Amino acid sequence: MRNILEIKDLSISFKLEDGLFRAVHGVNLSLEEGKVLGIVGESGCGKSVTAMSVLKLLASNAVIDSGEVLYRGKNLLNLSEKEFQRLRGSRIAFIPQDPLNSLNPLYTVGDQILETIRFHRKVSKKEAGRLAVNALKDVKIPEAENRLKEYPHQFSGGMSQRVLIAMALSCNPDIIIADEPTTALDVTVQAQVLDLIREIQRKRNTSVIFITHDLGVVAEFCDYVAVMYAGRIVEYSDVRTIFKNPLHPYTKGLLESLPSEGKGELKVIKGQPPSITEQIPGCVFHPRCPDKMETCDKQLPQLSNIKDSHLASCFLY
């Protein structure tokens, strides 16, 4: 299977009042055509920052220290903003996590979808209107023609998220980056939205990077998963292997904290993840690790291929 996107040795820092602090450390990831890659970890681990670098939507105080982001062999980080605008939304689309803050309340849903289509596709206003209707139909919004004339406040949270998915899909992108797209929704609507994204992804053979803190979602939705902790990839494999045979103590802790029938009291990972300003010697997880050894606070383990493309960064292996 061919890789459509490759992230190579990506490191990102942020300028804060006290200096420059590293948030992402030498991340390497690849996304195969037609597959779903999940990036999972606690808040602040760097998963969203990594994804936003692909879209060139990093905060103004962010600094890319090193690395490449290759889309079909082209380094996106070398493109000007004007050049990248043509790719963002057309070839690489984005589904944000909060539909209420992502849709402009002053414009109808139709105007916002039409703007996306006409910017990226050289079509008439009439044709753009037809494509907008089809986009809403694709995400199973009933009475699509009438609903294009409505404003965001007239849509429920779940329907608003469907509108964002429709906008992302309206230009038939190769890649979709979904940043916790179900966080603001209740459990029932979450399942509906995930099923919808997966159905469309399979139908169109779209590649997806799915950002989440929820391993339950990863199990249902992803083909491969990268587990991040404190700005580093600590484990990577196909989703079945990760759940059947997790290697890194952090991954094991995440899985043990998942609720399941007959499990009884849930286990928790003791302590808190480090802040961006903390400098931890050795393995960044060692202060919370139940399996730490003498070397763990002195040396940094490298992400290594343990067996059959199952990667982990841990001195246990």
Per-residue confidence band for 246, with pLDDT thresholds at 50, 70 and 90 = very high
Class in CATH terms, 3-81+206-312: alpha beta
Distance CA 276, CA 291 (A): 24
Average pLDDT rounded to a whole number, residues 129-157: 93
Average pLDDT rounded to a whole number, residues 143-147: 93
Domain ranges of the chain: 3-81+206-312
Per-residue confidence band for 262, with pLDDT thresholds at 50, 70 and 90 = low
Which residues, 6 or more positions from 5, have their beta carbon under 8 angstroms from its beta carbon?
30, 31, 54, 69, 70, 71, 175, 207, 209
pLDDT score for 268: 84
Are the C-beta atoms of residues 269 and 255 closer than 8 Å to each other? Answer: no
Is the pLDDT confidence value at 169 over 80?
yes
Neighbours of 195 (CB within 10 A): 12
pLDDT score for 86: 85
Closest C-alpha to 281, from 302, 293, 297, 295: 297
CA within 13 Å, CB half, 254: 28
Q: What is the DSSP letter of 72?
A: T
pLDDT score for 217: 85
pLDDT score for 216: 84
Per-residue confidence band for 187, with pLDDT thresholds at 50, 70 and 90 = confident
Q: Are strands 224-229 and 36-40 parallel, antiparallel or unpaired?
A: parallel
Cα end-to-end span (Å), the chain: 28
pLDDT score for 223: 95
Average pLDDT, the chain: 91
User: In angstroms, how far apart are the furthest CA atoms of the chain?
Assistant: 68
Question: Interior CA angle at 205 toward 84 and 80, to 5°?
Answer: 5
Per-residue confidence band for 121, with pLDDT thresholds at 50, 70 and 90 = confident
Facing residues of 31 across strands? 5
pLDDT-above-70 percentage for the chain? 98
Structure tokens at 11: 């490191």
Distance CA 305, CA 317 (A): 10
Average pLDDT rounded to a whole number, residues 268-285: 91
Which residues, 6 or more positions from 8, have their beta carbon under 8 angstroms from its beta carbon?
28, 67, 68, 69, 70
Distance CA 23, CA 45 (A): 8
Distance CA 13, CA 2 (A): 30
Is the pLDDT confidence value at 150 over 80?
yes
pLDDT score for 122: 82
Is the pLDDT confidence value at 131 over 70?
yes
Is the pLDDT confidence value at 20 over 80?
yes
- pLDDT tens for residues 75-117? 999 999 888 988 888 899 999 888 778 899 999 999 999 999 9
pLDDT score for 294: 92
Closest C-alpha to 250, from 272, 217, 279, 265: 272
Q: What is the DSSP letter of 88?
A: B
Distance CA 55, CA 94 (A): 8
